[in-house]
Amino acid sequence: MTAEHPQQETRTFETEVQQLLHLMVHALYSHREIFLRELISNASDAIDKLRFEGLKNEELFEGQKEGRIRLVPDSEAGTLTIIDNGIGMDRDEVVENLGTIAHSGSRAFVDRLTGDEDQDVELIGQFGVGFYSAFMVADRVEVTTRRAGVDTSLGVRWESDGTGSYTVETIERAELGTAITLHLKDDAREFLEEAELRRVVKTYSDHIPYPVVLEGGEGEETLNEASALWARPRNEISEEEYRNFYAHVAHGDTDPLTWLHFHAEGTTEYTALLYLPSQPPLDLWQPEARHGVRLYVRRVFITDQARDLLPTYLRFLRGVVDAPDLPLNVSREMLQSDQQVARIRKGVVKRVLKRLADMAENEPDRYRKFWDNFGAVLKEGIPEDSANQDELAGLLRFHTSKRPDEWVSLADYKAAMRDEQKAIYYLTGDDLETLKNSPQLEVFKKKGVEVLLLTDPVDEWVVMHLSEYDGTPLTSVAHGDLDLGELESEEEKQVEEATEADYGSLVGTLKDRLGEAVSDVRLSHRLTDSPSCIVAGENALGEHMERLLKAANQPVPESQPILEVNPDHPLVQTMKEIHGTDPADKRLGEWGWLLLDQARLAQGAPLPDPAATARRLSEVMNDLAGSGPSRIIT
């Protein structure tokens, strides 16, 4: 006992834990039994950790090498105790783990809470929130624990009724590991019954690699299969067993979308059981997201932080890789540079991509579900993993101008291309609605050419790295001088040249008036209905990409857009007439600015000087109202 750690102290739960506990107490009856899955899962993880630490320091086992989880119901006391001989916790760990929400996953869970009890309770069922689920069935929970290897005088006792606070004290404890005693609520006494415990363990924890032993009236009984599921032959594993194992590795109740279970031999031997989730994990977009694939060496858990085992664009996978050839004492740091890990990664990536390709071809509905949830993550593979670019490109799906509600593959796009079309056209932006109505699409609509509409931020990086697909270049419709090649007839080209000459001096004047705000002004070949649009230079990043970089606090090179004006639009034609009469007419400059600003607005870009735009607009309206010098626009 130290001054820092008084013998017994009462502490309050972190606010988020209180929210969570409140929900637990009100959780739906049908979900309650998952508390046992969660506590057994924690016990199993604790034994995994001790086995790993014990590899380097045998003494930690304190003579009990076999992992074991015991269930002790006591009908008289109305308690159920779950006991493990795992790593245990010291006092600081107890406070950290059982008083706060330490994990990004659980924190993201709390962030998702809506305040609507029914919906929130659904979330618990889907995601599982660990230790605190004990309060679904217990009105008081006691934890006694001792970290393996520390003195028996440094055991810890924690207790709470799950309302606002808990007590923690240092105690003498002979056994290592953790015992969790649940004082069951009156309406949860079925969890004292052996038959019920047998059923729940069989349903949810059969695959746990350590025996779950019931200590009941008739002595001891092992309730589960207690073998590592992934190490068994595929044809001996039932679908239900696969699904239940998923609940263990993914900490949740939902079914997986599908799974792959395979054994690889050759230079590197390994077994992998990998699941594709049917729902995105809550922390999918958090940089510190928990890694979902656990690495084992000959069934000994090594780490769930082997970030080099899988590329980040497959971070949604859940499951296990068991690599018997890795040294058992491999340190987590060593994994980074290990050649075998690199080979396993390569093999796993190939298999997963192949599986996705098969799914896309043979089970399009399932693939669509996958893409809805994880497409934006998988796309990160294009910039990240050039070695697998072709396979990844085949898996991409996009909305398009002709099929905005569908997911279209690049192969489908190519199959629907017009004969004269020599490029895959795309447009990037913030959202589908803005893109669908973008002026840049006008000429493509007129000519019946489909354009990919890219709305995920990562798409900018995808098109930067994917310059072609199956021999056809990808071309932005908002960059450079649009060359429609054979999509344009000779006649159209001649008309364009004539117009070019006709409008040359107006364009020159506009360029002059807009000065530094634009890098160029030119006549547009992409517009049919709108008077103007902005485009980026051939090699410039583009307005959307610049905005994304700025939002991410990245340095952005200075670049000005090119303003394109539509010679077929009455407004531009009127401007040419005014210019013919008096090239110094003030209105030309003012309207030039408005053409530029409305082009920005049409693509969802911010206005650099909104007050100036507003002033120009009122002037134009004022003119229209008849109080000004002219009423040219009618």
Ligand X SMILES: Nc1ncnc2c1ncn2[C@@H]1O[C@H](COP(=O)(O)OP(=O)(O)OP(=O)(O)O)[C@@H](O)[C@H]1O
Flag whether 268 is marked binding.
no
**Nearest residue to 386 (alpha-carbon basis) of 311, 274, 293, 493:** 311
Q: Is 106 in the site for ligand X (CB under 6 A)?
A: yes
Judged by CB under 6 A, the number of residues near ligand X is 20
Q: At what angle do helices 117-127 and 15-25 cross, to 10 degrees?
A: 100
Judged by beta carbon, residue 289 or residue 357, the one nearer ligand X is 289
Q: Which helix (H) or strand (E) holds 184?
A: strand 177-184
From residue 102, alpha-carbon distances to 37, 113, 340 in Å are 20, 17, 32
Q: Is 71 in the site for ligand X (CB under 6 A)?
A: no
Flag whether 38 is marked binding.
yes
Judged by beta carbon, residue 88 or residue 162, the one nearer ligand X is 88
Flag whether 131 is marked binding.
yes
Q: What count of Cα atoms within 13 Å lies in the side-chain half-sphere of residue 114? A: 9
Residue-level length of the chain: 634
Shortest distance in whole angstroms from residue 245 CB to ligand X: 15
Stretch that binds ligand X, among 21-29, 84-92, 112-120, 474-482 (CB under 6 A): 84-92
**Nearest residue to 50 (alpha-carbon basis) of 35, 63, 34:** 63
Flag whether 129 is marked binding.
yes
Joined together, the tokens standing for residue 523 give 């006549």
Judged by beta carbon, residue 130 or residue 542, the one nearer ligand X is 130
Judged by beta carbon, residue 45 or residue 322, the one nearer ligand X is 45
Which residue among 5, 11, 22, 103 contacts ligand X (CB under 6 A)? 103
> H-type helices in 149-293, by residue range?
194-205, 239-250
3-state secondary structure at position 533: strand
Q: Is 85 in the site for ligand X (CB under 6 A)?
A: no
Flag whether 545 is marked binding.
no
**Nearest residue to 461 (alpha-carbon basis) of 534, 544, 529:** 544
Flag whether 84 is marked binding.
yes
- The binding track of 119-158 with respect to ligand X, each residue x by CB under 6 A or -, is ---------xxxxx--------------------------
Joined together, the tokens standing for residue 59 give 């003494």
From residue 215, alpha-carbon distances to 222, 225, 332, 624 in Å are 9, 17, 37, 90
Q: Is 440 in the site for ligand X (CB under 6 A)?
A: no
* Residues facing residue 256 across a β-bridge: 277
Contacts of 603 (CB under 8 A, 6+ apart): 429, 434, 438, 439, 440, 478, 533, 534, 543, 544
* Residues facing residue 181 across a β-bridge: 81, 142
Flag whether 130 is marked binding.
yes
Flag whether 127 is marked binding.
yes
- The binding track of 26-65 with respect to ligand X, each residue x by CB under 6 A or -, is ------------x---xx--x-------------------
Shortest distance in whole angstroms from residue 136 CB to ligand X: 13
Burial per residue of 464-489, b for 16 or more beta-carbon CB atoms within 10 angstroms, e otherwise: eebeebeeeebbbbbbeebebeebbe
Judged by beta carbon, residue 124 or residue 545, the one nearer ligand X is 124
Closest residue to ligand X using C-beta atoms: 130
Which residue among 91, 146, 248, 251 contacts ligand X (CB under 6 A)? 251
Do 184 and 192 form a contact (C-beta atoms < 8 A)? yes
Judged by beta carbon, residue 251 or residue 479, the one nearer ligand X is 251
Stretch that binds ligand X, among 71-79, 100-108, 301-309, 618-626 (CB under 6 A): 100-108
Judged by beta carbon, residue 42 or residue 428, the one nearer ligand X is 42
Q: Is 84 in the site for ligand X (CB under 6 A)?
A: yes
Q: Is 311 in the site for ligand X (CB under 6 A)?
A: no
Judged by beta carbon, residue 281 or residue 531, the one nearer ligand X is 281
Q: Is 83 in the site for ligand X (CB under 6 A)?
A: no
User: Beta-carbon neighbour count of residue 421 at 10 Å?
Assistant: 20
Flag whether 104 is marked binding.
yes
Do 534 and 514 form a contact (C-beta atoms < 8 A)? no
Which residue among 17, 23, 87, 108 contacts ligand X (CB under 6 A)? 87
Shortest distance in whole angstroms from residue 102 CB to ligand X: 6
Flag whether 232 is marked binding.
no
What span, in angstroms and rounded, lies between the C-alpha atoms of 199 and 220? Answer: 16
Flag whether 118 is marked binding.
no
Shortest distance in whole angstroms from residue 109 CB to ligand X: 8
Q: Is 162 in the site for ligand X (CB under 6 A)?
A: no
3-state secondary structure at position 54: helix
Judged by beta carbon, residue 87 or residue 273, the one nearer ligand X is 87
Shortest distance in whole angstroms from residue 108 CB to ligand X: 10
Judged by beta carbon, residue 47 or residue 264, the one nearer ligand X is 47
Q: Is 409 in the site for ligand X (CB under 6 A)?
A: no
Flag whether 271 is marked binding.
no
Joined together, the tokens standing for residue 558 give 């200075």
- The binding track of 163-182 with respect to ligand X, each residue x by CB under 6 A or -, is ---------------x----
Contacts of 574 (CB under 8 A, 6+ apart): 632, 633
Joined together, the tokens standing for residue 432 give 């589908």
Do 406 and 399 form a contact (C-beta atoms < 8 A)? yes
Q: Is 97 in the site for ligand X (CB under 6 A)?
A: yes
Do 442 and 417 form a contact (C-beta atoms < 8 A)? no
Binding residues, by number, are 38, 42, 84, 89, 97, 104-105, 126-131, 178, 332
Bind-site residues for ATP: 38, 42, 84, 89, 97, 104-105, 126-131, 178, 332
Residues that bind ligand X (CB under 6 A): 38, 42-43, 46, 84, 86-89, 97, 103, 105-106, 128-132, 178, 251
